[in-house]
Structure 1
Amino acid sequence: MTTSSMTAFAHQRFDYPWGSVTWELRSVNHRYLELSFKLPENWRQLEPSLRDALRSKLQRGKVECALRVQQHSQQQDLQLNDELANQILTAANGLKTHIAHTAPINVLELLRWPGVLEPQTLDNDAISKQLVDGFNTALDEHIATRQREGSALAQLIEQRLDTIGDIVTDIRSKMPSIVIAQRDKLQQRLAELKVELDPNRLEAEIALIAQKADVDEELDRLDTHVKEVRRVIKKGGASGRRLDFFMQELNREANTLSSKAVVAESTQAAVELKVLIEQMREQIQNIE
């Protein structure tokens, strides 16, 4: 399945002998699936089936559907009522047996008889089917647009996940040297103050510094969350809420990393992580 955006627009126009039909579907992000329709009064009865079609294919988003129907004003073709005309002809011919001097039947007079010629009526059932078919075509275009937008969002998120992975790898590689630098800094500070500590006490202080600076657990969780986000994106479908949850977890680990930072470089890395996570979170708000 493909990751889909909730933001999309579709426009479809259809021309028929009796007139034209225009469908417009537009959607924006929303926590749930919210549907609204703008239909001509004559076609309000189509709304339940249209809602069902949308619910079967969309999971989230605020979707507005508008229909415009224009019938040709010259659509007044006349239709001959064959049954009534034949009845009149039969009655007229029957009169000839009783009345010897009857005038010939005038075709124009026959056509003027009420009901013989009637304006041709439109087949509402056939038109309804055309309207629904047009809606389904517009819906397919709308879904295709959502999928294209979703693919673009997924690529943007993947790029930021790559950067997060690089930052985590960089921090992990530098942690041993950071701990050594902190130990040397402590020893230098003690030397400047001309303070001598018991070797066991010194080792305990160094161990405490290493413990405070230890972020292996946070880095492992960041790696795990990044892998899970990639898996969810690859799986596709309605994944926006799940991705939003992982953004919260990633941000939690970035905050912990920041609180444990013992050098400016670690602090800067944590800030960059939070910026990347926030950028992803904003993109994910548009994912279905």
Structure 2
Amino acid sequence: MTGYSKLEKVSEKYKVYCEIKTLNSKGLDISVSIPYYLSSKEIRINQIISNYLKRGKVHLRIGVKFLVPISLNVDFAMAKSYFETLEGLRESLGIQNLLSLSDLLIFREIFRGDLDDEVIEELWDFVKNIIVETLEKLVEEREKEGEKLFVDINKMVLRLKKIVENINKLSLDLKEVIAKKIRENVEEILPNNIEMDVNQFETAVALIADKADIREEISRLNSHIDRMQELILKDEPVGTLLNFLTQEVHREFNTILSKSRMLEITNLALEGKYVNSQLKEQIQNIE
């Protein structure tokens, strides 16, 4: 499910913000953007996220501003390389203005904070709590959205159930409909003075009715739909199972269409496929 959450907190030493964005995805795909001095905590951040989210593309971004002075290291070799490169560019382009220190300050990688392990751990404790709070806020917003989503999904599942009920009702008269069509076709072909062989007629009806029998498909559809109704009421990740069931429902409707000998059943099966495709799209928003 798509979602967005952002939180900012300030302590005596730090100002930290955490931003989390989520997009639909079959699995859990996590990416993080954090300051270099917290890079050792990336695995731990992934673990925290996986405790709250089970599906989706998740991007987390952490920003830290120090409110107290910290010691800095200057990479003089890199600074010299930048200066010489810029000086060469200035000369080749014929720029008259001389380079100044401000021209080098835009290259942040020249400066690195010298943080010892104790400072990093102290900062991590503060950042970790903010990550958890941001995730809790995100989950809360997703749950509100999920309640609205449940209403739409439940309507689609009930609509599928009604479609299958109507197909089942029509299928009860399938043999009689087939017999009527065969009789009408035979009567058009046979001359008026020739009577229809009853045994051959009944055999033909039985063979065609057997090939058009959709009782098993209807039974499986009812089973899949009942399972969907159970899953959408569960307070746990069910998106993967629901997605699998929509694939099975699609397959059963296709089989019914291939067997159909009644226009009404064909139309209902097509409607069922359409509703099921809408359901599949909505299920992508569910964990």
TM-score with structure 2 setting the length: 0.74
Q: Is the 8 A contact 2:38 2:120 kept in 1?
A: no
User: Which residue in the other structure is 1:222 paired with?
Assistant: 221
Q: 3-state SS of the aligned residue for 1:234?
A: coil
Matching residue of 1:53: 48
Unaligned runs of 5+ residues in structure 1 are 77-121
2:137 matches 1:145 = no
For residue 124 of structure 1, report the CA deviation from its aligned partner: 5.8
- Equivalent residues, number: 236
User: What SS does the corresponding residue of 1:173 show, helix, strand or coil?
Assistant: helix
Aligned to 1:134: 130
What is the CA deviation profile of residues 101-150 of structure 1, one whole-angstrom value per residue up to 9, with x for unaligned ones?
xxxxxxxxxxxxxxxxxxxxx96654432222111100111222333333
* Aligned partners of 1:232 and 1:243 also within 8 Å: yes
User: 1:208 matched to which residue of 2?
Assistant: 207
Select which of 150, 155, 175 maps to 1:154.
150
Equivalent residue, structure 1, for 2:113: none
Pair 1:30–1:188, CA change in 2 (3 A): closer
Q: Report the TM-score, using the length of structure 1 for normalisation.
A: 0.73
The more displaced of 7-16 and 125-134 is: 125-134
Structure 2: gaps spanning 5 or more residues: 70-117
Range that drifts further, 125-134 or 137-146: 125-134
In the alignment, which residue of structure 2 is the partner of 1:271?
A: 270
CA distance in 2, matches of 1:47, 1:144: 24
Task: Tell me how far 1:266 sits from its aligned partner.
Answer: 1.3
1:163 aligns with 2:162: no
Measure the CA separation in 2 of the matches of 1:70 and 1:173.
68
Contact 1:23-1:67 at 8 Å conserved across structures:
yes
Q: What residue is the counterpart of 1:68 in the other structure?
A: 63
Conservation of the 8 A alpha-carbon contact between 1:190 and 1:196: no
- Mapping of residues 184-195 of structure 1, within 5 Å: 184-193=180-189, 194=191, 195=194
2:99 equivalent in structure 1: none
Percent identical among aligned pairs is 28
- Structure showing greater radius of gyration is 1
Give the superposition deviation at 1:196: 2.2
Amino acid at match of 1:28: L
Q: What is the identity, as a one-letter code, of the residue corresponding to 1:141? A: K
Mapped contact 1:14–1:21 kept (Cα < 8 A): yes
What whole-Å deviation, never above 9, does each CA across 1:59-85 have from its counterpart, x for those lacking one?
A: 22221111122334xx57xxxxxxxxx
| Letter of the structure 2 residue corresponding to residue 183 of structure 1 | A
Quick one: distance in 1 between partners of 2:127 and 2:184?
A: 82
Q: CA deviation at 1:178?
A: 4.1
Q: Deviations along 1:179-238, whole A, 9 cap, x unmatched?
A: 323322322333333352211112212222322332111111100010112222222422
| CA distance in 2 between partners of 1:32 and 1:208 (Å) | 47
Per the alignment, do residues 44 and 185 of structure 1 end up closer, same or farther by CA in structure 2, a change over 3 Å counting?
Answer: closer
CA distance in structure 1 between the aligned counterparts of 2:50 and 2:251, rounded to whole angstroms: 35
* Separation in structure 2 between the aligned mates of residue 27 and residue 175 of structure 1, nearest angstrom: 45
Query: d(CA) in 1 for partners of 2:200 and 2:122?
Result: 91
**Secondary structure, aligned partner of 2:64:** strand
Amino acid at match of 1:42: Y
Matched, 1:23 2:18: yes
Deviation of 1:56 after TM superposition, in Å, equals 2.5
CA distance in 1, matches of 2:37, 2:167: 66
